[in-house]
Chain A
Amino acid sequence: MQTVSVAEESVVPAAYRPDVIHVKSARFGDFEVLADRVLHFPQGLIGFPRMRRFVILDHRPGSPFKWMLCLEQPDVAFAVVEPREMVPDYRAPLELGARTLGVDPADVALFVIVTIPPDPTAMTVNLMAPVVVDVRTRTSRQLVLEDPRCDPSYRVCAPRVAVAAES
């Protein structure tokens, strides 16, 4: 048995670090993510109970867009944003998030999922079902707000301005 374990150790690459997860995605490329950055959704996303572990990666510095990549199915990823910049008058349900996660509101990060159709000027954000994260433990949950003001497909770019921005 001793021989086997030595042999196993010898094939571990020099750069092996137990705190790094290597993600191979045919669709989105390969990523290295730190294990302590992984979000745990004990119940998965709504309608996708088996998608429980995600990482959030920046699109690029200064952009509000982030990737939320599923570790169980690395070909599944969502675009997420913090709503503050895109939807300034959205009343982010931090209190509800905190209650649901059983933590202090100061420890809650909140993201909304962006749906990007082939014409990206028509992109929408899901204000009805934001994702809340306990920043200390990274336990996460997708909330559902039954508030008629929280549109599940809220259009981010008002159409006429989007056309002006293209020209």
Chain B
Amino acid sequence: MLVLTRKVGERIRIGDEVTLQVLEVRGGQVRLGLAAPADVRIFREEIFLAIEGQNQDAQLPDQARLADAAAVWEAYADGKRS
């Protein structure tokens, strides 16, 4: 891992188009500002991991799994209507 030391207000460039700026350091927290093109996705890591895990879990094992869910939903929706 590349390790750099920066003062408040200083920036780091990642590639040609991404800029990371240290805005504030207070207590154990650092506030960062990020400027990047719209097609660069920026997430807190825990959010990224949660969505990645959810996508992983959502992969269907077979056709029957979806058919079962569709049947359950039909019964449930009918139950709600009646």
What separation, in Å, do the CA atoms of A134 and B77 have in the docked complex?
Answer: 29
Closest to A121 in B: B72
Measured between beta carbons, the chain B residues less than 8 angstroms from A142 are 51, 55
Task: Evaluate contact between B65 and A120: CB separation under 8 angstroms.
Answer: yes
Give the contact-size bracket for chain B: 35 or more
What separation, in Å, do the CA atoms of A166 and B70 have in the docked complex?
Answer: 13
* Total residue contacts A-B, CB cutoff 8 A: 117
Measured between beta carbons, the chain A residues less than 8 angstroms from B34 are none
> Taking beta carbons and an 8 Å cutoff, which residues of A are in contact with B?
27-29, 42-43, 45-48, 59-60, 63-65, 67, 76-79, 85-86, 100, 102, 113-116, 120-121, 123, 126, 128-129, 142, 144, 146, 152-153, 156-157, 161-162, 164-166
- What are 24 residue pairs bridging A and B, where the CB atoms are less than 8 Å apart in the complex? A28-B60, A28-B62, A43-B39, A46-B51, A46-B52, A47-B52, A48-B52, A59-B66, A59-B67, A64-B73, A65-B70, A67-B60, A77-B60, A78-B59, A79-B65, A114-B69, A120-B72, A123-B73, A128-B54, A146-B44, A152-B50, A152-B51, A161-B76, A165-B78
> Taking beta carbons and an 8 Å cutoff, which residues of B are in contact with A?
38-39, 41, 43-44, 47-48, 50-63, 65-80
